[in-house]
């Protein structure tokens, strides 16, 4: 009897230990506490996350597009007034402007993650962090940095698989363009102007995302030697004699004014692009927002600059 009791007790202890081990190996429910994740965001800031975020506020249209693209629509609890793509983004609660988010509206959304950009570095980010909120900044300026931003969001939200699939598609589409343009001679790379605004004339110059779009699409940016988004004189445009001129359209109330300027400004009538009918309009958002749609912008530019290669 004594031996039987000892056997039963031992069996019970083994069962308890097994159950404890199984419980320890079971996956945690989504959003529950998990080992702390420490990342470096694109402003070089160290950010610690205690769990997979379930309530996300986006402070930029490009961030919102990334969130939608990797399947995080249900976790978005706040976007800016300018977040208009995809159309479903317009239905999300608003937290103010892009450069001027309403801090109280952000706090009221009770986010466990806020995605900011470089424009928020000096004001919004410190104000939000002072209130104990978690902020990650995305600040991509190149194609590689755009893809790194997408992967970073995937990593911190548990959407690594979706982010990886999106990046694979983006890389294939980039390659489909550059396979055709990388072999072009310098003479075949057409002089290209991308006009962001017309009054006064402003171009996407060197070290901008649009400059990289032009280069990958087989063009040469006539404003390459300038920096960022720069004012340019009509005399400088005439002297550079662009063979292709592209205007951003759809910005605010500007609609197609910049495109009409390139088509109708009398002083540009001798420029090669005007004489040969090589003036185009492009949705400014797809080449100015550093998100997944930058590939749409690349494909548009490739068709504008080299229609013989991209029919």
In a domain, 8, yes or no: no
Handedness of CA 107, 111, 113, 119 (dihedral sign): negative
State both tokens at 31. Answer: 């959003």
Residues 148 and 196 in one domain: no
The pLDDT assigned to 11 comes to 40
In a domain, 178, yes or no: no
- pTM as predicted: 0.87
**Residue 71's domain spans which residues?**
33-160
Residues 152 and 50 in one domain: yes
Total domains in the fold of the chain: 2
Quick count: other Cβ atoms within 10 Å of Cβ 104? Answer: 10
Alpha-carbon dihedral angle through residues 14, 15, 17, 20, given to the nearest 10 degrees: 170
**Measuring CA to CA, which residue among 143, 142, 137 is closest to residue 124?**
137
In a domain, 60, yes or no: yes
Residues 155 and 266 in one domain: no
The pLDDT assigned to 103 comes to 97
The pLDDT assigned to 311 comes to 82
- The residues of the chain scoring below 70 in pLDDT are 1-35, 251-254
In a domain, 172, yes or no: no
Among residues 111, 143, 160, which one ends one of the domains?
160
Residues 131 and 74 in one domain: yes
Residues 126 and 234 in one domain: no
The pLDDT assigned to 34 comes to 53
The pLDDT assigned to 304 comes to 98
Residues 112 and 210 in one domain: no
Residues 49 and 121 in one domain: yes
Query: CATH number for the domain including 72?
Result: 3.40.50.1980
The pLDDT assigned to 1 comes to 43
Residues 127 and 39 in one domain: yes
Residues 41 and 152 in one domain: yes
The pLDDT assigned to 185 comes to 97
């Amino acid at each position: 009897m004594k031996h039987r009791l000892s056997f039963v007790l031992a069996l019970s202890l083994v069962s308890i230990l097994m159950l404890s081990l199984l419980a320890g190996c079971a996956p945690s429910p989504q959003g529950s506490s998990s080992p702390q994740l420490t990342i470096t965001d694109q402003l070089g800031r160290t950010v610690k996350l205690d769990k997979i975020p379930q309530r996300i506020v986006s402070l930029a249209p490009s961030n919102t597009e990334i969130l939608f693209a990797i399947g995080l629509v249900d976790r978005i609890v706040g976007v800016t007034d300018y977040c208009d793509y995809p159309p479903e983004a317009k239905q999300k609660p608003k937290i103010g402007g892009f450069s001027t988010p309403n801090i109280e509206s952000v706090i009221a959304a009770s986010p466990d993650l806020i995605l900011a950009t470089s424009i928020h570095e000096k004001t919004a980010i410190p104000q939000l962090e002072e209130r104990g909120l978690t902020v990650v900044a995305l600040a991509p300026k190149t194609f590689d940095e755009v893809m790194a931003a997408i992967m970073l969001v995937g990593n911190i939200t548990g959407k690594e698989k979706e982010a990886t699939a999106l990046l694979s598609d983006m890389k294939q589409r980039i390659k489909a363009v550059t396979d055709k343009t990388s072999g072009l001679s310098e003479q075949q790379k057409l002089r290209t102007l991308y006009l962001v605004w017309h009054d006064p004339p402003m171009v996407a110059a060197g070290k901008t995302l649009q400059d990289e779009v032009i280069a990958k699409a087989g063009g040469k940016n006539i404003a390459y030697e300038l920096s960022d988004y720069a004012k340019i004189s009509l005399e400088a445009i005439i002297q550079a004699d662009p063979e292709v001129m592209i205007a951003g359209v759809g910005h605010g109330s500007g609609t197609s004014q910049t495109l009409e300027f390139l088509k109708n400004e009398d002083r540009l009538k001798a420029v090669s692009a005007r004489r040969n009918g090589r003036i185009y309009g492009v949705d400014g958002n797809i080449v100015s927002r550093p998100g997944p749609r930058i590939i749409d912008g690349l494909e548009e530019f490739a068709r504008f600059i080299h229609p013989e290669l991209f029919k």
